[in-house]
Amino acid sequence: MDLQPFIEKFRRRFDEVEAQLSAPDAFANAQKGQELTREHSRLRELVTDGEAWVQVGREIEENRQLLAAETPSTELGQMATEELQRLEPELQRLTLRLLDGIAPPSPVDSRNSVVEIRAAAGGAEAALFAADLCRMYSRYAEDRGWKVETLDASTSDLGGLKEIVLLISGQDVFKRLKHESGVHRVQRVPATEAQGRIHTSTATVAVLPEAQEVDVEIKTEDLDISVCRAGGHGGQGVNTTDSAVRIVHVPSGIEVRCQDERSQHKNKAKAMMVLRSRLLERRLAEEAEKMAKERRGQVGTGDRSEKIRTYNFPQNRVTDHRIEVTLYNLAGLIEGKLDPLLDPLIGREVTERLALLQK
């Protein structure tokens, strides 16, 4: 596929957006200004990738011509072979990134995300695994320069997490993390297991795009709002005031809690943000004709048979069952090195979007 016309199109659009951002009234509408800024950043990456794609393609052609003129066993032939082994995977990577820019993305891909992690089957070990997943996503976010806020959390006796709700902010958060939604299964020997037997437990992950007020209309009369004293760990004053907020959206039955801030007003604002995100996720799922009228449609019941990914600690192995990819670097992945799994998942989505365009 000749990507050159698309690269030129990206360059023209980049120049247009840059000119719009330079206008005196660029941020007169704050939301529009933020959208332009995000588009500018996305286009800048596409232009950079496009220039790299052209350069790598040129170098591949030069090395192929050199290899055709030389015997592979000669020094020049060996150098050309080594260069092609390095350049061809790089060209594939750049091609995928450019195809991702060509296929129309989801309108919510560039948004921040609410990430909800809950222990499922497996008792105390499931809660410990939920804490591992929380650390994994937090470290991945840190590596990408994203911001992570805890909105609500419930801990277990052994230091695990019964559930936690995070707000992750940054560029293309939802695009990178949305495929993490589902049941995650772990196989390992718990610290409390004297016989060394491997246990299997699960945790569920739900990734929701942060909703704006204009995305979802919420009527005041549909809300049941209550306040209470925050529980769990916290600094001085957190557990001594009625600052925790609980909101129930009566028509849908969705319940949201937030106790991270000392201010009741701040907790209410964050709880409303999570509620909007959950309602937006439900609407998007219904529009996509998915069976997700309840949030269980995204994460399932937590049953082991519904897994999207398995983490096998004794074998240092992780398998994503949707794309049939197995990696033997579980230690690195659990420390936040997620791209080797996320990139193929995003690539599959790009392929599906391009297929729809060609119909």
Strand partners, 208: 114
Q: Are 120 and 204 in contact (CB under 8 A)?
A: yes
Give pLDDT tens digits for 182-212: 999 999 998 767 677 899 999 999 999 887 7
Q: Are residues 201 and 313 in the same domain?
A: yes
Q: Which bin fits 172, alpha (ψ -120 to 50), beta or left (φ > 0)?
A: left
The enclosing domain of 68 has a CATH number of 1.20.58
Q: Are residues 90 and 13 in the same domain?
A: yes
Q: Are residues 236 and 88 in the same domain?
A: no
Identity of the amino acid at 80: A
Helices 339-357 & 75-102 angle (0-180, nearest 10): 60
The enclosing domain of 207 has a CATH number of 3.30.70.1660
pLDDT at 54: 95
DSSP 305: G
Q: Are residues 59 and 40 in the same domain?
A: yes
pLDDT at 237: 44
Q: How many domains are there within the chain?
A: 3
Q: Are residues 224 and 268 in the same domain?
A: yes
Q: Which domain holds residue 61?
A: 4-102
CA distance 34 to 105: 17
Q: Are residues 206 and 233 in the same domain?
A: no
Q: Are residues 97 and 14 in the same domain?
A: yes
Q: In what order do the strands lie in the sheet with 182-188?
A: 147-155, 161-169, 113-119, 199-209, 182-188, 307-312, 317-320, 325-327
Tell me which residues of the chain have a pLDDT lower than 70: 1, 104, 192, 194, 213-215, 229-242, 287-306, 356-359
Residue 163 phi, psi dihedral angles, 5° rounding: -165, 155
Q: Are residues 265 and 232 in the same domain?
A: yes
